[in-house]
Structure 1
Amino acid sequence: MRFFNYRLARVFLAAFPVLAFLPVQSAGAGGITSDYTKIELQNCVQFQSPEGVEEEGTFGGAWECAGYRGQPVYVAEGDLRMFVSFGPAAEQEPAAEQTLPNFNTVNETLEWRLRDGVPFATILRWFPSLDEGARTGSVLIVTQLLPGGGTCQIARIDAQANKNANVLARQAADSMAGTFDCARQPDIIGNPGILN
């Protein structure tokens, strides 16, 4: 009988770390889901091109893409860095001026976090350059959607330094979006990795 109890305890303890990280849906978190759209610049409307810009060599252009249910997605490239913002006045939101310090590009797949079908945050993978060669990192950036000056990056997660980066990004979106002060720098979540 003692052997059985010991084995049962070992099974429980082995499962406990996994159980501790399973998402718990509280009454306040009910109705949270994800939907996905693509950022494909060839299918977007370019409204600003490098021609005629004073610093022609540093500005690559600006586009408006269609996001979740037509929500505007602003994408710009300048000095080999990307800028992504959202909403009807996306170009005026703080997110339109936020990027990573290294040269970077963004992934095509954009995750929208929805509460009862209404988008409140996005998660997008960015690829910062790590050196002079072709090596890149992978960073998930969470942006809260608060039109009128509150659309900004709220969290960054090094996806190579954190095996559960997608889970961390969703947790950050679900718990922080809507209350984050855009005057602050985005929080670094988990192991900072290259974000150090």
Structure 2
Amino acid sequence: MDLKHILLAAVFATSPAATMATAAHANESAYTDRDLDACKTLSEEEEGPSVTLLCAGYKDLPVYFKEGDLRQSQAYGPLSKTYIDSAFETFGPFNHTGAKIEWRLGASGIPVAAIARWFVADPEQTNDTDTRYGQVLVVSTVATTENPTSCVVGYVDALENKDANTLARTVADEEAAGFICGKSKPQWHGKRGGLAGDPMHYLPDAVE
């Protein structure tokens, strides 16, 4: 290759078109709204009380919602029966989830992770009429038919990090694919404030 062609190749490699081609392979987001009133009840116990719901998610991927003792858990994709029945990841303080779910789509358009917002009550709050809540973005894996498990990958304190959504997407894109439920340990990313709450995990195949 002569000098002219070398220079032209270098210009193309750094051109906007080349940059756009690279960016085209970056993960994208899709959004769904979970509607608890439209979910199907899979199990319900008055003692507790507790409930497990099957909800619509992204395309044909379901969302499994659980609530017990004023704490909520959520998982995504075609879960195994063991995970549907037994898995529960939440926070120690009373909490509830937001309805909006962000799905991070890989190059094939298939979700590789899901992001949801948890509202975590301040356990030190004594005024029942004006409860303070922390807000945490929870990044989770999405189950597949080959790997029917879904679990938390990481946490981002949405009140302490001004770029919380971007940070959560980075965690989803970089860590979800290699995360192994029951073996890998979810981590906090960015700053963590006093209202974030302590996570609680129960996974049927967890390694202590």
Q: TM-score range by the shorter chain?
A: 0.7 to 0.9
In the alignment, is the contact (CA less than 8 A) between 1:143 and 1:177 conserved in 2? yes
**TM-score, reference length from structure 1:** 0.77
In the alignment, is the contact (CA less than 8 A) between 1:36 and 1:112 conserved in 2? yes
Pick aligned residue for 2:98 from 83, 86, 107: 107
Secondary structure of 1:193 counterpart: coil
Higher helix share: 1
The amino acid that maps onto 2:104 is: R
Secondary structure of 2:174 counterpart: helix
In the alignment, is the contact (CA less than 8 A) between 1:92 and 1:149 conserved in 2? no
The amino acid that maps onto 2:155 is: R
Separation in 1 of the partners of 2:70 and 2:113? 25
Counterpart of 2:35?
Answer: 40
Counterpart of 1:129?
Answer: 121
Pick aligned residue for 1:138 from 132, 135, 139: 135
In the alignment, is the contact (CA less than 8 A) between 1:146 and 1:178 conserved in 2? no
Separation in 2 of the partners of 1:29 and 1:190? 27
Separation in 2 of the partners of 1:26 and 1:101? 45
* More displaced 10-residue stretch of structure 1: 42-51 or 122-131: 42-51
Higher relative contact order (CA 8 A, sep 6+): 2
Residues matched between the structures, number: 168
- Structure 1 107/168 Cα, relative in aligned 2: closer, same or farther at 3 Å? same
**TM-score, reference length from structure 2:** 0.73
Unaligned runs of 5+ in 2: 1-18, 199-208
Counterpart of 1:74?
Answer: 64
Deviation sequence 1:14-58 (CA, Å, 0-9, x none): xxxxxxxxxx9895981411111111110111121224xxxx1x2
Counterpart of 2:49?
Answer: 59
In the alignment, is the contact (CA less than 8 A) between 2:79 and 2:148 conserved in 1? no
In the alignment, is the contact (CA less than 8 A) between 1:73 and 1:90 conserved in 2? no
Separation in 1 of the partners of 2:162 and 2:27? 22
In the alignment, is the contact (CA less than 8 A) between 2:104 and 2:113 conserved in 1? yes
State the superposition RMSD in angstroms: 2.5
Counterpart of 1:162?
Answer: 161
In the alignment, is the contact (CA less than 8 A) between 2:50 and 2:67 conserved in 1? yes
Separation in 1 of the partners of 2:24 and 2:179? 17
Deviation sequence 1:74-121 (CA, Å, 0-9, x none): 001011100111222265339931111111000000000001310110
The amino acid that maps onto 2:96 is: T
Separation in 2 of the partners of 1:63 and 1:143? 18
Unaligned runs of 5+ in 1: 1-23
- Structure 1 112/25 Cα, relative in aligned 2: closer, same or farther at 3 Å? farther
In the alignment, is the contact (CA less than 8 A) between 1:142 and 1:169 conserved in 2? yes
